[in-house]
Chains A and B, each alone.
Chain A
Amino acid sequence: MLNQFGITFLDLIGFVILFPLAGTIINGFLGKRLSKSIVGYVGCAAIGLSFIVALFVLLDLLKLSPEHRVFEKEYFTWIGSGAFRAIAGLQVDPLSVVMILVVTGVGFLIHVYSIGYMHEDKSFYRYFTYLNLFTFSMLILVLANNFLLMFIGWEGVGLCSYLLIGFWFEKKSASAAGMKAFIVNRVGDFGFILAILLIFVTFGTIDFTEVFHAAPEHLQIGSIVAATITLLLFVGAVGKSAQIPLYTWLPDAMEGPTPVSALIHAATMVTAGVYMVVRCNVLYTLSPFTMTVVAVIGGATALFAASIGLVQNDIKRVLAYSTVSQIGYMFLACGLGGFITGVFHLVTHAFFKALLFLGSGSVIHGLGGEQDMRKMGALKKYMPITYITFFIGTLAIAGIPPFAGFFSKDEILLEAYTKGSLFFWGLGAIAALLTAFYMFRLLFMTFHGKSKMTKRVEEHVHESPNSILFPLIVLAVLSVLGGFLGFPTLSVINEFLAPVIGAGHHGLAHGGESHHVSSNLMFSMMGISTGIAIVGIVVAYVMYISRPELPGVIAKRFKGIYNIILNKYFVDEIYDATFVKPTLRASNILWKVVDVKIIDGFVNAVGRLTVLKSEVLRLFQTGLVRNYAFSIMLGGIIIIICSILFL
């Protein structure tokens, strides 16, 4: 099917990743000498051009018939060693196209936003270099045609995440958060590497197409190998996508600049785990056990993180926990076999969460860096556009029809109900209730009520510049319309993504994505989930608008629980006590005893011995020529005597 049409945009897929790379190189090497506006243009143009190419790729892909919508562009043999071959290539199929469109589309808006947001920063070019590099890595991740190349992208985004979280490295908390993200992600990456090795051992190849083609014949459903591979892969996904138990890095990652939080820690990178699970859906469906694990972890995370979000006071932290929770939803969907639903929620989530983060960034920008919601309030009249767009985002995430989040979340709940059980549905439903509550709590505390700003801040409050408002408006529109991609019964995205799911295996029990759900059930589910959202909103309204004294009273009455949740269930402290402290202590012992005393001691002993020996030997070096001459002569005489005597 290749090249029937001569050169198509599919052949030019490489440009999608080349543009951001070019942006990185230009800004990285010349950025210091270029003016800020040029740096900004280069950064945005790189992503914008990439987005345009991605659009044409989509159009070309749509020209093909659905079952032929897989295109692989192989560039060169990257590693060829014995039986191991890794061919560097890009794979275009509906899934990767959806991902590159999200990454470049949302990424472009966030780049534009960054021009306004980061304008004061002295490391403006460094910021755009990192951001372009991130986009490049992310595109490699989603376009890779084999596991190893995907892993390169995986590590690349991890690196950029680290660099950007610690972007303001003069601040100790920021550099610490960067390191935390990096180290926690190592745990997950370790699982990913093991999974890749196991895949190679099992299948003798790491190419996606070949592995997924061979998997159903190679592995039996429920076999231990299938379970091990998928569980290890899932460990990687848990790390990258901040799920229980490795979610702790994401809230701390909010130390980075807000657009970074929007791009990396909401819209794209953290959803890489979901993408990976969906990409490997063939393997996952072979292991029902893993699927259950994925669903349970996803559901539990959705609920757990949402509950923490209830009481946080930092505007970005609320959003961070919300992100963790929403990704939990995606995993819940995937775990129940609704891979497409997971991707659908990924897409809508990218729209509204990026919007929310950028909106919060606009607020923080307007308030001169204030992030504590208790010191905000009544911003509605100061920042009307930010308010409206933020309100739309909030409605979307809360699941109010017809906004984007409603369709995807509703579909997940439906999935949970039909394919899972009441248990999963309950997890999702309660999390949805909490989501609606904490998001409206955030909205009310920030934009409504009485102003709690300090005088100095209040004088300076201003609506953000156009470069900030433009992305907000575009994302708000997407948050309104995005959900119609997956409109029930005529879901565009379902149809588009269907070939990706279960490709290569024939007639699996619950293969395919066709919903045979009665419309009665569907509408009642819609009604219920809307009702849940409205309950959450009303409760938030009562607590934060009509009776603002209530939260304090409740907090006092349930002091124990409140404190536990406020302190995030002390998970950080528990990790600190069980992993960090012992590691530090062990490292201290290794450093001060093993390294300093034993290893250094040994090396020093050798040195000291040499010195001692030399102290004696140097006495022979008198520096007097006659002594040396005498030694030479003596030596000569001895040699002569010896040769006479013994030869």
Chain B
Amino acid sequence: MEVPLTWYLVLSGILFSIGAVGVLINRNALVIFMCIELMLNAVNLAFVTFSRQQNSMDGQIFVFFIMTVAAAEAVVGLAIIIALFRNKATINVDDINIMKW
């Protein structure tokens, strides 16, 4: 039995929302980071779904790009978090507000 496309899209939407809410309500930088990855992968899922529906490879190629960027982003992001932790001994984003006036 074929799983309908809608289901994939709904799953993608749910994953994206979980990620977005996670970014907003979490204080732990690492968790926020993981939530962002979740959002990215939700988008990936949507891309693949549409790619299959449209019978086109474009979407899948995009997915590769997004995964590459996500990997690079993970490197930079983790490095920032480690640097922050070394300086401040915390990764609670509410305690990190040096980037203001």
A634 to B97, CA, bound (A): 21
CA distance A618 to B101 in the complex (A): 7
Contact between A621 and B101 (Cβ–Cβ < 8 Å)?
yes
Decide yes or no: A630 and B24 within 8 Å by CB, A624-B94, A625-B96 being known contacts: yes
* Complex alpha-carbon distance, A630 and B23, angstroms: 8
- The residue in B93, B94, B101 that gathers the most chain A C-beta atoms within 10 A of its C-beta is B101
Residue of A nearest to B36 (CB): A629
Q: What is the bound-complex CA distance between A618 and B32, given in angstroms? A: 25
Determine the chain A residues whose CB is within 8 A of the CB of B27 once the complex forms.
626
Are B93 and A625 neighbours in the complex by a CB distance under 8 Å?
yes
Is A2 interfacial (CB-CB < 8 Å)? no
- State how many angstroms separate the Cβ of A627 from the closest Cβ of chain B: 9
B75 interface residue per 8 A CB criterion: no
Residues of B within 8 A of A454 (CB): none
Q: Which of B61-101 contact A (CB under 8 A)?
A: 93-94, 96-101
Contact among A618, A623, A629 for B97, CB-based, below 8 A: A623
A634 shortest CB reach to chain B, Å: 10
A to B contact number (C-beta, < 8 Å): 33
Closest chain A residue, CB of each to CB of B24: A630
Residues of B within 8 Å of A629, CB to CB, are 23-24, 32
Q: Does the CB pair A624–B101 fall under 8 Å?
A: no
Residues on the B chain within 8 Å of A623, using CB: 96-101
Q: Nearest CB to that of A626 among chain B residues? A: B93
Q: Does B43 contact A (CB under 8 A)?
A: no
Chain A residues whose CB sits within 8 angstroms of the CB of B30 once the complex forms: none
Interface 0/1 of A597-639, CB less than 8 Å to B: 0000000000000000000001001111110011001000000
The distance from the CB of B100 to the nearest CB of chain A, in whole angstroms, is 3
Interface residues of B, count at CB 8 A: 13
- Taking CB atoms, residues of chain B closer than 8 Å to A626 are 23-24, 27, 32, 93-94
A224 to B46, CA, bound (A): 91
> How many whole Å from B73's CB to the nearest CB in chain A?
15
Chain A residues with Cβ below 8 Å from B97 are 622-624
A127-177, CB < 8 A from B: none
B20 within 8 Å of A (CB atoms): yes
Q: How far is the CA of A276 from the CA of B30 in the complex (A)?
A: 88
Q: Mark A222-257, 1 if CB is under 8 A from B, else 0.
A: 000000000000000000000000000000000000
Are the CB atoms of A624 and B24 closer together than 8 Å?
A: no
The prevalent SS among residues of A at the interface is helix
B20 partner, pick from A618, A622, A624, A633, beta carbons under 8 A:
A633
| Docked complex Cα distance between A35 and B4 (Å) | 99
Q: Are the CB atoms of B101 and A633 closer together than 8 Å?
A: no
CB < 8 Å: which of A618, A621, A622, A633 contacts B24? Answer: A633
| A interface footprint on B20-51 (CB within 8 Å = 1, 0 otherwise) | 10011001000010000000000000000000
CB distance from A641 to the nearest CB of B (A): 15
- How many angstroms between the C-alpha atoms of A624 and B26 in the bound complex? 12
Residues of A within 8 A of B94 (CB): 624, 626
List the A residue with the shortest CB-CB distance to B101. Answer: A618
In the complex formed, the residue of A with least CB distance to B21 is A633
Q: How far is the CA of A228 from the CA of B93 in the complex (A)?
A: 82
**Interchain CA distance A623-B100 in the complex, whole Å:** 4
> With contacts A629-B23, A629-B24, A630-B24 known, is A624 near B98, CB below 8 A?
no
Closest to A623 in B: B100
Nearest-Cβ distance from residue B64 to partner chain A, whole angstroms: 24
How far, in Å, is A505 (CB) from chain B's closest CB? 80
**A626-B27 Cα distance, complex, nearest whole Å:** 8
A597 to B99, CA, bound (A): 38
Contacts of B20 in A (CB 8 A): 633
**Measured CA separation A630–B20 after assembly (Å):** 9
CA distance A626 to B92 in the complex (A): 11
Contacts of B98 in A (CB 8 A): 623
Give A633 to B98 CA distance when docked, in angstroms. Answer: 22
Give Cα distance in the complex from A542 to B20, angstroms. 115
Whether B100 lies near A622 (C-beta < 8 A) is yes
How far does the Cβ of A587 sit from chain B's closest Cβ, in whole Å? 42
A469 to B32, CA, bound (A): 95
Chain A: CB-nearest residue to B35? A629
CA distance A624 to B94 in the complex (A): 6
Give A629 to B20 CA distance when docked, in angstroms: 9
- Determine the residue in chain A with the shortest Cβ distance to B100: A623
Smallest Cβ distance from A27 to chain B, in angstroms?
Answer: 57
A residues less than 8 Å from B23 (CB atoms): 626, 629, 633
Q: Which residue of A622, A624, A630 has the most chain B CB atoms within 10 A of its CB atom?
A: A624
Interface centre among B20, B27, B98 (most CB of A within 10 A): B20
* Measured CA separation A624–B100 after assembly (Å): 8
A253 CB to closest chain B CB (Å) equals 60
Residues of A within 8 A of B93 (CB): 624-626
CA of A630 to CA of B22, assembled, Å? 11
A158-B23 Cα distance, complex, nearest whole Å: 76
Can you list the 9 inter-chain pairs with the closest CB atoms, starting with the nearest? A623-B100, A623-B97, A623-B99, A618-B101, A625-B93, A621-B100, A629-B23, A624-B97, A630-B24
13 contacts between A and B (CB under 8 A): A618-B100, A621-B100, A622-B100, A623-B98, A623-B100, A623-B101, A624-B93, A624-B96, A625-B96, A626-B24, A626-B27, A629-B32, A633-B23
What 12 new A-B contacts, CB under 8 Å, besides A621-B100, A623-B96?
A621-B101, A622-B100, A623-B97, A623-B99, A623-B100, A624-B93, A624-B94, A625-B32, A625-B93, A626-B23, A626-B24, A626-B93
A residues contacting B by CB (< 8 A) are 618, 621-626, 629-630, 633
- B interface list, Cβ under 8 A from A: 20, 23-24, 27, 32, 93-94, 96-101
